[in-house]
Each structure stands twice: as C-alpha cells, then as structure tokens.
Amino acid sequence: FLGVMSLFALGNLILRETRTELKRTYNAPVIFVLLAFFATLTGIAGNIRIDPNNLLYFAIYFVPAILIVLAIVYQDFNMKILMRLSRPVPSLHNFLQRQFEDLTSNTLVAFVNHVNRLHPLLQYINSNETAWNIILIHCANHDNKDDRDRFHEIKEAIPYLQKSGAFPHFKIHPVYKTFPFGPEAIKEITKEYKVRPNRILIGAIHKFHAFDYDELGGVRIVF
C-alpha cells in the first residue's frame, strides 16, 4: 500500500514534466507532493526496520503478481517465442498460430487529431498492445468546423509510413466523423464498432474542452 502511494506521488512529478498539456482539475504544489513521497518512503523503511520479514512477505506477493502482469502485457511476444519453439511439433505449432491470429485480430479504436501524433500513437500500440486491427477516428473540430484537410493528411501519411517499413503488420482504417470529440462521440463509437471504452485510445484533452476525463467513460489516455 505504501509503495502504491509512493508511485502516485512519483507519477505526479513525472507527469508535471512530460505531460504539461494535460487538463487538470486539481493542482497540488510540488512541495506537498515531495513531502508525501518522502513520508511514504519513510513508512516503507520503518516497516522494514520494525520487522525485516515484512520485506520477505512483500516479495512473496509481489513477484508472482508482477510475473502474471508481464505475461499478460507481453503475451504476443511470449506467443511468438512459443511458436518458434513448437515448430518441431506441427499440431502444437498450428494451435499456437491460431491463438496468435485470434489475439492480434482484436480491434482498437484511437482518436487522432493531428498527423504529427500518428507515429507516436502507432508506436505506443506496437509496444503495448496485441491488437493489429486499428480504427483511427478523426472528428470535426471542437467548434464544429469541418476539418477534412487534417483527416486527409492523416489518411495519406499511413501508406507512406507502412511502405517505409513502419508497422507493416497493422491493418489501419482511417474514419472521419462529422461530430466533435467528446462524451457523446465516445458513446457513438462504442455502439458503432462494438468496443468497450477501455479499447478506445485518446490523447490529452485541453482547457477549451467543456468536459473532463471522468465523463469519457473509461477511455485510455496514451499520448
């Protein structure tokens, strides 16, 4: 618990430097965040000093849990290794290949507004997701102005990226929507493509947006 609390404070400090554009409902002074961070670290050190066995119990719970998490996060990588090792056994190899195809055929939906965010988005998906079927949604501007020029830039950049050798395994489907991005757009997309909100990726929302993150139904902020 104290470790998790320490990570909250550490994450706050990191986001201050790396995600300055994030819309924030609350702003904690840096000194308070640092005090909280060192207080929880002191609590961890105190627990270990009181009884060193506390560190052993932590390891007993933590190590298996982190191994399970890593196995899930890198399941596509693990599956590739298993397929390579199973080549001498055709029946097992074919079974694993079918499982791998099912794993990568899942659909992800991602909202993208600028062509310069396209590569970071695809890089994130390539590094952290198993789905290869990607629907890229570009919405009309927040003030309801038509914004098809940006969409065409995004659409035209995709084949050039893939011809250059970047993400050739992805099946990318760019889609333009006439409504602006927001909670209603998320609801519409989940119904149309039958995806859960946690399969929808977005970038940071800005101060001019009239809504906050908790109104978006659990989408993931990835860039």
Q: What is the pLDDT of residues 48-97, one digit of tens each?
A: 889 888 888 888 888 898 888 888 878 778 888 888 888 888 888 888 88
Record the tokens describing residue 79, joined without a space. Answer: 């599956």
58 or 142, which is more confident: 58
Residue 36 burial (CB < 10 Å; 0-12/13-18/19+)?
Answer: middle
Q: How far apart are CA 26 and CA 29, in angstroms?
A: 10
Say if pTM beats, i.e. exceeds, 0.85.
no
Q: What per-residue confidence (pLDDT) applies to 21? A: 67
Q: What is the pLDDT of the chain when averaged over all its residues?
A: 85
Q: How far apart are CA 134 and CA 199, in angstroms?
A: 10
| 209 has pLDDT over 60 | yes
CB 144 within 8 Å of CB 167: no
Q: What per-residue confidence (pLDDT) applies to 142? A: 65
| 168 has pLDDT over 60 | yes
Task: Give the whole-number percent of the chain exceeding pLDDT 90.
Answer: 18
**Structure-derived torsion over alpha carbons of residues 68, 69, 74, 78, reported in degrees to the nearest 10:** 0
DSSP characters over 95-156: HHHHHHHHHHT-EEEEE---GGGHHHHHHHHHHH----EEEEEEEEPTTS---HHHHHHHHH
